[in-house]
Structure 1
Amino acid sequence: MDIFGKIKEKLTNEFIDIVEWLDYTDDTIAHRFERYQNEIKNGAKLIVREGQTAVFVNEGQLADVFTPGTYDLTTQNLPILTTLKGWKYGFNSPFKAEVYFVNTHLFTDEKWGTKNPITLSDDRFGLVEIRAFGTYAFKISDAGKFIVDIVSTDSNFTNFEINEHLKSLIATRFTDTVGEANLPIELYAANTSELSETCREVMKPEFLSVGISLEKFYIENVSMPEDLKKEIFEYSRIDKLDLDKLTKFKTAKAIEAAAKNEGGTAGAGMGMGMGFVLAQQMGGMMTGAPQANIQMGNQQQAGSFPPPMPASVQYFYAVNGTQQGPVSFEQLQALFAGRTINRDSLVWKQGMTSWTALKEVEELKSFLGGSTPPPLPTE
Structure 2
Amino acid sequence: MGFFKNQFANVVEWEEFRDDMIFWKWNNQEIKKGSKLIIRSGQDAIFVNNGKIEGIFEDEGEFNVDSDIVPFLSTLKGFKFGFNSGMRVEVLFVNTKEFTVKWGTQNPILIPTPQLPGGMPIRANGTFNFKVNDYVTLIDKIAGMRNSYLVDDVKIRITSVLDQLLMKWISREGKDMFNLQANASDIAKGIREDLDMQIMDNGMTITGFQVMSFNYPKEIQDMITKTASHEMIGNLQKFQQVSMTEGISSGKVQGGGAASDMAGMMMGMNMANEMMKNINQNSNQNQKPSAEKQQSAPAPSSAEGDKKPNFCPNCGTKTEGAKFCSNCGQKL
The question of a shared fold, defined as TM-score above 0.5 by the shorter chain, is answered with: yes
Q: CA deviation at 1:162?
A: 3.1
**Partner Cα distance (1:22, 1:235) in 2:** 59
Task: Tell which structure's C-alpha radius of gyration is larger.
Answer: 2
Contact 1:55 1:144 in 2 (8 A): no
| 1:73 match: secondary structure | helix
Normalised to the residue count of structure 1, the TM-score between the two structures is 0.55
**Partner Cα distance (2:72, 2:277) in 1:** 94
| 1:222 match: secondary structure | strand
For 2:70, the aligned partner's letter is: L
Contact 2:13 2:39 in 1 (8 A): yes
Contact 1:135 1:219 in 2 (8 A): yes
Counterpart residue number, 2:311: none
Q: 1:124 to 1:172 in 2, by over 3 A?
A: closer
For 1:146, the aligned partner's letter is: L
Contact 1:58 1:81 in 2 (8 A): no
User: Aligned to 2:21, which of 12, 20, 28?
Assistant: 28
For 1:29, the aligned partner's letter is: I
Out of 195-204 and 222-231, give the one that drifted further: 195-204
Aligned residues: 268
| 1:210 match: secondary structure | coil
Q: CA deviation at 1:252?
A: 11
% of aligned pairs identical?
A: 22
1:52 lines up with 2:49 in the alignment: no
User: Aligned to 1:64, which of 34, 46, 54?
Assistant: 54
Q: 1:113 to 1:209 in 2, by over 3 A?
A: same
Q: 1:168 to 1:81 in 2, by over 3 A?
A: farther
Q: CA deviation at 1:228?
A: 0.7
CA RMSD of the aligned region, Å?
4.6
User: Aligned to 2:201, which of 189, 195, 209?
Assistant: 209
Q: CA deviation at 1:103?
A: 1.3
Contact 1:112 1:170 in 2 (8 A): no
Counterpart residue number, 1:159: 151
1:167-182 equivalent positions in 2, closer than 5 A: 167-182=159-174
Highest RCO, 1 vs 2 (Cα 8 Å, sep ≥ 6): 2
Q: CA deviation at 1:66?
A: 0.5
Q: What are the superposed Cα offsets for residues 32-78 of structure 1, whole Å, 9 maximum, x if unpaired?
A: 11443x3555x96655443222233333x332340313542247556
Structure 2 residue runs of 5 or longer lacking an equivalent are: 291-332
Normalised to the residue count of structure 2, the TM-score between the two structures is 0.61
Counterpart residue number, 1:147: 139
Q: CA deviation at 1:31?
A: 1.5
Out of 206-215 and 194-203, give the one that drifted further: 194-203
Q: What are the superposed Cα offsets for residues 264-319 of structure 1, whole Å, 9 maximum, x if unpaired?
A: xxx9xxxx9x99x9799647732344413667999xxxxxxxxxxxxxxxxxxxxx
| 1:186 match: secondary structure | coil
Structure 1 residue runs of 5 or longer lacking an equivalent are: 1-7, 299-379
For 1:118, the aligned partner's letter is: I
Counterpart residue number, 2:124: 132
For 2:153, the aligned partner's letter is: E
**Partner Cα distance (1:251, 1:48) in 2:** 71
Counterpart residue number, 2:179: 187
Q: What are the superposed Cα offsets for residues 191-250 of structure 1, whole Å, 9 maximum, x if unpaired?
A: 5455444533443333333222323333233211100111222233334565xx325756
